[in-house]
A and B are shown apart, each in its own frame.
Chain A
C-alpha cells in the first residue's frame, strides 16, 4: 500500500501545469482553542474561493483546487508545526493558507514552510515581528501588521489633540507587539506615553493596575487587550474608580460585548479595527449568506483573499509549485491591472490566462506592501449614545 502511495505521490509531482491536476491548498487555522469561533467562517471563506476557481474550469488548464485542513490550536506551536508538517509531507499541499495566530504562524514559517519551500499566506497574524522575520520570500499576509495599527492609533489620537496617554496591554505576543508599536509611533509623533504596563488575563480584580495607570496620568487610557478577558476587567475597574473618563480601543476590544457591558458609560471613547468600506467586504458577506457562513465575521474576507491570491499567483506563474508562484503574489495583488473583487475569480483567471494583468482588491481591499503584508484599512470608531459608530475609514 505504501509503495502504491509513493508511486502516486511521485506521479503527482511529475505532472506539469499544462496537464489538469488536483491542486491542494492547506488551511491551517485554530479549529480548537481560543479563537475557534472565528476559524469556521474563515476556513469556509477560503474554501469558497477554491471552489470558485475549480468551477471556472480555466484554472491551470482545467485543474481543480481542493483544501486540506489542519488544526493550529492558535497557541500550541508544537501542535501547529506537526499539523503543518503533515499537510506538507503527507498530503503534499502546494501552498498554505494560514496560520491564524501570530505565535503559531511564526513557528510554522520557520519550521515547515522555509525548509520545504512552501508559500504561506496568513489572513490574521498581525504581530509586527513577522514583518522582519526571515521568510525566503515565502510569507505573505492579507492582514496588516500591528505596526500599522500603532500609526493609525497615533493619527487618531493626535487629530483629537491628545498627546499624553498611559497604555496597558495584555501580556501576549499580540498585546506586547501592539503596545510597543504604538509607543514607538506615538513618541515619534511628539506624544508621551506616561506608562506602558502589562496586565495578566483572567484575574478577578484590576484595581491595582488601574491605580498605577491613574497615577501615571494622561488624557485617555489606551487598552490593548481583549474585551472578554483582562481588557474588559481593566476598563471596568477604571470606570469604577473614576480614574479615566475616556478610552482608546484597538481591535481586540471592539465587539458587541463592549456595547452590551459598558454602553453609554464609555461615551466619547475612540478606537479602530481592521475594516474597509470597499464593495468587496459586502460581496463576501453576500456570498457567505448564500453559502451558509458568516462573511462579516472577523478575518473571513481576509481568508477568502489569502486563498484567492494563491490561486491567482499560480495562474500567473502557470504552475502550482510554490517556488514558481511566490514571485507572482505581489504582482497579482497590486496595480497595474484590472481590479478584481470577490466572486470575479473566473474573470481574473481568464485575464491571466490570456497574458493580461490583474490588481486583486478582494474582500479586504488588498494592497500588499513592504515584506508582503496588507497596507491595512482601518475603521475608526467612536462610542456615542452607548453604540459603536463609524467615524471614517483610513
Chain B
C-alpha cells in the first residue's frame, strides 16, 4: 500500500507532467531541428512562431465559442487548429519569401540567418502583443480532467491522488500522431526522401534535379504544423501567455542539441530528457520517501536537489555538458 502511494505521488508530480512537458518540447525541438537540418540555421524565432500559431487558435476558438459551436467534451481549440495551421503556413512562407530567401540567394553565412531570425522573433513578438495583448488569455473549454485527484482517491482508497488532465492526454497523443506522420513522410514519400537528400548533401541533391525552393516550402509547411500544434496545446494545457513561449526557446534548443541537431529522433529523445531532468531535479521527494523509508531514516528536509527557481539552469547545464563531451548529441546529429 505504501509502495503504491509512493508510486502515485511520483506519477502525479513527476511522470505525468514530465510526459506532457516532454511532448511539447519534442514537438518544438523537431521544428528547430528540421530548420537546422535543411535550411542550415538556428531559428531563434521558433518560440514566437508557436505563440503566433497559438494566437490564431485562440482567436478562432473565441469566435467559435461566441457562435456557440463546441465539440464537448473535447476543447473547441482542436477544431480550430487546422485553420490556424493554414494561416501559419501563409505567414511563414511570407516571412521566408520576404526575408530568408534573399539571404539564401546571396549565400549568406548561417550567423546572418540566425540574426535575421532574431529580428523576426521581435517582430512576431510585437505583432502578437499588438493583436492579442501581453496578458493571460483563456480559451480552454470542454472537460478539464480525465480523472481528478479527488475522484482517484475515492476510487482507489489510496492516500494520494492522481490527476490526469484531458489536455495532457491530448498533447501526448497529438505528439505521437504528428511524429509518426512526420517519420512516414520523411522516410516513405518521394518528397520526404528528397528533403533528406537535400539535408545530407545539398550539392549532390541539386545535381540530381531536386528543386530547392520546393524543399524549402515543404520545410516551412512542416514547421507551421509543428509550431501551431505545440503552441496551441501548450496554451491549452497551461495558459496562453505570449511571453512564456520565448522562455520555452531555451529548453527547446537544449532538447534539439542534446538529441543531435538535424536528427528528428534525437529531437524527440532530447525533449523528454530535458523535461524529465528539469522536473526530476527540482522535485521535492519528501513525500515519496516518506512512504518507502522507515520513519527514523527520513531526513527532516524536503529532499529537493535544487530549488524550482533554478529550473532553467538545468537545461543550461545539460546543454553545456553535451556540448563539451558529445557535441553531436546523443543521436548522431551535426555538431555546431
Contacts and interface: CB of A to CB of B under 8 A. Distances in A.
Interface of A: 195, 197-200, 202-205, 207-212, 214-217, 228, 233, 236, 240-243
B238 A242 contact: no
Contact of A216 (B13, B14, B135, B286): B286
Contact of B148 (A212, A215, A236, A242): A242
Contacts of A205: 21, 238
Contact of A212 (B17, B135, B302): B302
A210 B308 CA distance: 10
B149 interface: yes
A208 B311 contact: yes
B163 interface: yes
Interface string B202-241: 0000000000000000000000000000000010001101
B303 A240 contact: no
Interface of B: 12-14, 17, 21, 135-136, 148-150, 152-153, 161-163, 165, 234, 238-239, 241, 243-244, 247, 278-279, 282-288, 302-304, 307-309, 311
5 contacts: A199-B308, A202-B243, A210-B13, A228-B135, A233-B239
A241 B14 CA distance: 11
A209 B307 CA distance: 9
Contacts of A202: 241, 243-244
Contacts of B135: 228
A268 to B, nearest CB: 13
B163 A241 contact: yes
Contact of B13 (A195, A199, A211, A236): A211
Greatest chain B CB density within 10 A among A195, A198, A214, A215 is at A215
Given A197-B307, A242-B12, 5 more contacts: A208-B308, A208-B311, A228-B136, A241-B12, A241-B149
B210 to A, nearest CB: 40
Contacts of B12: 241-242
A204 B13 contact: no
B238 A215 contact: no
A242 B149 contact: yes
A215 to B, nearest CB: 4
A114 to B, nearest CB: 35
B149 A215 contact: no
Closest 4 CB pairs between A and B? Answer: A242-B149, A215-B284, A242-B161, A204-B244
Given A215-B303, A241-B13, A241-B149, A204 B238 contact: yes
Contacts of B136: 228
Contact of B234 (A204, A212, A215): A204
Given A204-B241, A215-B303, A216-B302, A242 B163 contact: yes
B29 to A, nearest CB: 17
Contacts of B304: 212, 215
B284 A211 contact: yes
Nearest to B283: A211
Nearest to B281: A208
Contacts of B282: 208, 211-212
A217 B287 contact: yes
Nearest to B13: A211
A240 B279 contact: no
A126 to B, nearest CB: 24
